[in-house]
Chains A and B, each alone.
Chain A
Amino acid sequence: MRMARWRPYLLGLLGLAAITFPFLWLQLAPDFDKNTVGVVWAPQHGLEFFGDMSTVFVIGFLIWVGVQVNRRFGLDKALAANAVWQKAGSIWTHSWAWLVVPLIFLIVPLSIRTDAMRAAGTAPWVSTSTLGLFTFVGLYMLLAVGLNITVGMTGLLVLGYAGFYAFGAYFFALSQQYFSFFPWWLAAPLAFVLGGGVGYLLGLPCLRLRGDYLAIVTLGFAEAFRELMRNLDVTGGDKGIVLKDSSIFRAFAGLSHSQVCYAVTALVLVLTVFLVQRLCHSPVGRAWIAIRENEVAAEAVGVPVVQMKLLAFSLSAAIAAVAGVIYGAKDGFVSPAMCEFQQSIMVLAMVILGGLGNSYGALLGAGLLYLVPEYLKVLPSAIQNSPALSAIVPGFVRDSFQHLSDYRWLLFGVVMVLMMLYRPQGLIGGSRRKTEMLHT
């Protein structure tokens, strides 16, 4: 009978309801005079929770429906078999046409003269704040690509990635503040080398052993680095370092300040992706993949496992340091809060969402994870401004958007678990990658 198939799920749901019962439906009522505590029945808490999550449930349901439809009708296979799509794909992979897209991302935002357009009375397509947003996305993309090398390609978990990011930023800030003769454009390459060096030193003791240790060691490093920066006066303590110039980048050649920041970030990003891709499609990259698949077999086949791991990790650290330098140069402000665990987890989630081992996946993951919460913040007022949308979207869904940013981390967690369970190859991995991940 079909009921029997659903029984374990029902039991599970019941169990979950039971163990979340007190937290959702009861509330603590401390009595401060007697120093005791009581509980009150507070269903509005739980109802609010489910109400706010209703949007998520709706979206999740839609995704599930989409997946089922796709499975039933074989839509993506039909797309892959389509001649036009295949031609586009082959142009893409076999010619230089692919350069067009990065160029679009590079040139379009820079060519819009926002001030001129404003003077002409038309709304700018890419406003200053949007550019700022995209610059941040670019930085996170850079971080994701860097982390992808160690976590995605070589299969080593890194938990304290933000530590290297902060290292680069502090290096830049300190060099600017105390060695003012130090030319700022030398900071990035030097940070690359130093960041790589730190990564190498950290990796040496742990990469000889189980890869799992790397996770804890990097986490410990991030925490220790944060504490060190906080304790020492020379690094500004908790306030961080506020540089004299609010930004190294100045308006230049007719481009506004934010456009210059965007340009620099985009250029560095494109360069990095290019280099990393070249590396990944070389014997080095293949060695990394071999290590990820089966370390012992790789060693048996002659891959210098420890050196390759160290290379991957050092490179990741180096890229993070460069990203840190860009951040410091852009904002003129660094603080110990940069190396918090939450930052590291966010970058990790970006890599996982996009697809482990795929640089483009990392870029997509970074774009989505950073921009979607921002859009959600903007969405309520955008819906209000547009009568058409207001009609379609019901009130309580709109309200839940307001609160959704509170639930951001909750959803991160859920997304990570779901991704690992159902789509470990990430958003753009193929089914072969899924098999690799799930069945070593």
Chain B
Amino acid sequence: MADLEIKSVSKSFGSVEVLKDINLKINSGEFVVFVGPSGCGKSTLLRMITGLEAETSGDILIDGKRVNGVDPARRGTAMVFQSYALYPHMTVAENMGFGLKMAGETKAAIRDKVEQAAATLRLEKLLERRPGQLSGGQKQRVAIGRAIVRNPKVFLFDEPLSNLDAELRVQMRAELIELHRRLGTTMIFVTHDQVEAMTLADRIVVMNAGVVQQYGRPLDLYDDPDNRFVGGFIGSPKMNFLEASVAEATPDHVVLDKIAGSDRSLRLPFSGFDRSIKQVAIGIRPEHVSLGAGAADEIPLAVSFAEELGDVTYVHGKLPAGSPVTIRSDKTRYGGKESGNMALDPSGIRLFDPDGRRLRGNGS
């Protein structure tokens, strides 16, 4: 196991800049997930760590040693591909042993290591089969086994669960967590699914358009997003965003009005609000919004439809300005109302400036 440092790494393909000045430090033994929408650069970053792509500028260090330009097989990394990339003409044992064979190990040594890895992944009975005879989950495990056998310092996963059906995915997630616990190796996992990120990661790197949006523990990202993108990306259903104007800003509070096109206003304790900001977006998660009884500071909404799942109800509506909102209610059922008011729980409010940056104030 080793720590990994990415220093000011950028990558362009021709004139297209795919990664812009990435800086990350991943500690030894951590399970870090790179997550973001398609095209955000997460896979490219992964491939640069393993050496399949070269960085345009910047350095990558594994265990303190600079690995730029070092042959992919010699970096001490191992990768599990999205399509598993198993060799169809070789048995499972041969697939897992191929890397060792290339490294020149003896047949006996190869057999031992393969059997060990196979035991870890419960593949002992499948060693003589070919990939074509395996199920998706089994192929997945062989791909992991092929990586384990080489005793890497860093494990890399490129969207390995995307090809599995939902039920299998949940099962494999559990197995991966168990694997990490057992091996303790540094693991980097790329996915576009934020649920996977939240369940697997020690820390999450959220990326968008080649830039790291935020890097931190899952719940920290959930509770304390750095910017609008992270707020909207993490958590399902998505965070609601209500546009509002700044009516008044004093050193200890701020008054926002014209919230989501309504005439309601809200007064929030906020120390050190930047007076140059005139418009904000109020970010608030569905669980911090409720259907209210009609108090003065509630915001009117028209209900579009409701999802009643039994234990939880999601009410989807439209606010006066036309923006959508999702309300989550655990205790009260919806009851068929067509319009109503929604109340905001101030503790769930996160403010963002027009550029999407999070407004934190001093000590709030």
- Please indicate whether A and B come from the same complex rather than being unrelated chains: no
